[in-house]
A and B are shown apart, each in its own frame.
Chain A
Amino acid sequence: MSAPLLETHALCKRFGGLLATDSVSLSVRRGECHALIGPNGAGKTTLIGQLSGSLRPDAGVVRFDGRDVTCLGAHQRAMLGFARSFQITSILNDFSVLDNVGVALQAVSGSSFAFWRPVAAETALSTEATAILDKVGLAGLASRRARDLSHGEHRQLEIALALATRPQLMLLDEPMAGMGPDESERMVRLITELKGRYTILLVEHDMDAVFRLADRISVLVAGRVIATGTVDEIRANDAVKCAYLGEEEVD
């Protein structure tokens, strides 16, 4: 058992009367693919927001590699090795696909307070950006405007942006959301390739995908983690069946 890369202790977040995150203690081990599942409104995206630093928890601690990062903002955590893909596609719409990845690479390679030298002349950036696009299957679309891509391609670009920041930990918020079966299959294969090389926290509704990809699963219901375990343990867990899986069988 390797040490946890990401740990939370008694994390709480309240929106008015709603306790969106209720004393969540979570531990993601280095190198594992940890899935976070739960019914709609369970607080998964709110939790991801607190992990990535875009939301400040009301109470509790977030530790990354043993270090307390609770008070660090999103850009500071990104520099430590956090990368996030968004549930609702968040890319630079007016940039070309290549420049999207280029600007992400730029964040982790040298200062961006450079005012004179054309960034287009930095071949190292564009070479690496092309390699990343190749990895996620967008190589042919490098010069297209990001806005003009299809939904599935947007999701692939999200992953490319996350990869470009040379992360240790990838927070993937529903990467298959809104995808057709073919696109989903391609995404599962892409994440399978990333497994092992990166520590992944995966939020996903597609149970087939979760059971294929995850090493361990945590189940979030109404802001609380009701169970954590391997795929088989979660499948056999009565509380989970009742709160989450059972609900799907009824559908």
Chain B
Amino acid sequence: MRLLRYAVLAAVCLLALAFPQLATWADQEFYISVASRVLIWGLFATSLNLLVGMGGMVSMGHAAFFGIGAYVVGITAVEAPQWSGALLVLPLAVLVTGALALVIGAISLRTRGVYFIMITLAFAQMLFYVFISLKGYGGDDGMQLLARSPLGSLKMADDTVFYYLVLALLALCLLGLARLRDSRFGRVLAGIKDNEARMESLGYATFRFKLTAFVIAGGMGGLAGALMANQNGYLSPNMLYWDQSGTALVMVILGGLGSLWGGLAGAAAFLLLEEVLAAFTPHWQIILGLVLLGVVFFAPRGLAGLFARKPR
């Protein structure tokens, strides 16, 4: 089992590294940008998995960070083009969405369960309507980007170059999360998910730990949004809309709640299903629903759970 796990992991990494060459060789360069989209959605779903899967905080407003991350790129390009280099704008997106998560989290983490779902949803919808009405930044038409955020002498317009940038950032985030999961902080977060009252009585100020996780997840979601704006060359209030949060949640459940690779596996499976099924029927989401039912009943630990190590 252990061997199989490493074999699958090695195969996934190799495929990810060699994908642009494979696609070019097969004369299917179009799929390089599809793969970038998968990785960016994977990053977004992974950031939500930190909240839902590792911390037990079911947020329905994660799109807030996805959308604001994108708007940081769009607004910077208009208002302060001298700052629009990737080395400035991507960290800026993380900082802004992290700060936003600090505010939203500080308020919504005072509630639990359904109320937490509702209040996070409300914040995201509020932002959605704010950006719909901001005509200066495109209103509901959104914003077109003239070019991707430049990074040194790299040709960012080249989909292969951009793909590797996304892959590198995703790898960094996954490495960080893997370390976090096994750290003191990760163990406390898992404990809070398991039994919050017990953790309180052991002396943990659980609110602070949950808020910290919320800020990290928000910043990571913002990074995903900033990358998505760059990928598409376009951003709109729809990135803030609640169905984006829902899609990410479906990806997390599909891929594996609380598993390190769950977000990525879920995003890949979801977008692949969409790609394949949409060719047959416009009602492809009916089939997606059936697949989701199957996963929940027969593989509650998701796709990644089929290979992942047993939870402790």
Contact = CB atoms under 8 A, between A and B. Distances in A.
Nearest to A118: B182
A79 to B, nearest CB: 5
Q: Is the interface of B mostly helix, strand, loop or mixed?
A: helix
A15 interface: no
Nearest to A121: B182
B200 A94 contact: no
B212 A54 contact: no
A104 B202 contact: yes
A106 B187 contact: yes
Contact of A84 (B183, B201, B204): B201
Given A92-B194, A99-B312, A103-B191, A118 B201 contact: no
A113 B201 contact: no
A116 B185 CA distance: 9
B183 A117 contact: yes
Given A75-B201, A102-B187, A104-B202, 12 more contacts: A75-B206, A84-B201, A93-B195, A95-B190, A103-B199, A107-B202, A108-B203, A111-B184, A112-B188, A115-B179, A122-B184, A165-B202
B195 A90 contact: yes
Interface in B157-210: 176, 179-180, 182-188, 190-191, 194-195, 197-206, 209
Contacts of A86: 198, 201
B223 to A, nearest CB: 17
Nearest to A113: B185
20 contacts: A75-B201, A75-B205, A75-B206, A76-B205, A84-B201, A90-B195, A91-B198, A92-B190, A92-B198, A94-B312, A95-B194, A102-B187, A107-B203, A112-B185, A113-B184, A115-B185, A116-B180, A118-B179, A119-B186, A165-B203
Contacts of B205: 75-76
B152 interface: no
A66 B179 CA distance: 43
Nearest to B205: A75
B201 A74 contact: yes
A99 B187 contact: yes
A214 interface: no
Contact of A119 (B182, B200, B201, B206): B182
Interface in B242-299: none
B311 interface: yes
Interface of A: 52, 54, 73-76, 78-79, 83-84, 86, 90-96, 99, 102-104, 106-108, 110-120, 122, 145, 161, 164-165
A88 to B, nearest CB: 11
Q: Which 8 pairs across A and B sit closest by C-beta, in order of nearness?
A: A78-B203, A107-B203, A114-B184, A118-B182, A92-B194, A74-B200, A112-B184, A90-B198
Nearest to B212: A113
B149 to A, nearest CB: 27
Contacts of B187: 99, 102-103, 106, 112, 119
Given A102-B187, A106-B187, A112-B209, A93 B202 contact: no
Contacts of B204: 75, 107, 112
Interface string B222-248: 000000000000000000000000000
Contacts of B203: 75, 78-79, 107-108, 165
A95 B202 contact: no
Nearest to A74: B200
Interface centre among B180, B186, B188, B201 (most CB of A within 10 A): B201
Contacts of A95: 190-191, 194, 312
Interface centre among B186, B197, B203, B206 (most CB of A within 10 A): B203
A115 B194 contact: no
Contact of A75 (B176, B200, B212): B200
Contacts of A116: 179-180, 183
Contacts of B195: 90-93
A100 B165 CA distance: 40
Nearest to A117: B183
A74 B199 CA distance: 10
A118 B183 CA distance: 4
Given A91-B195, A112-B185, A73 B180 contact: no
A78 B198 CA distance: 11
A198 to B, nearest CB: 16
A108 B202 CA distance: 9
B188 A103 contact: yes
A113 to B, nearest CB: 6
Contacts of A84: 201
A164 B206 CA distance: 18
Nearest to A99: B312
B190 to A, nearest CB: 7
Nearest to B208: A113
A163 to B, nearest CB: 11
A157 B204 CA distance: 18
Contacts of B199: 103
A76 B194 CA distance: 20
A86 B202 CA distance: 12
B311 A94 contact: yes
Contacts of A92: 190-191, 194-195, 198
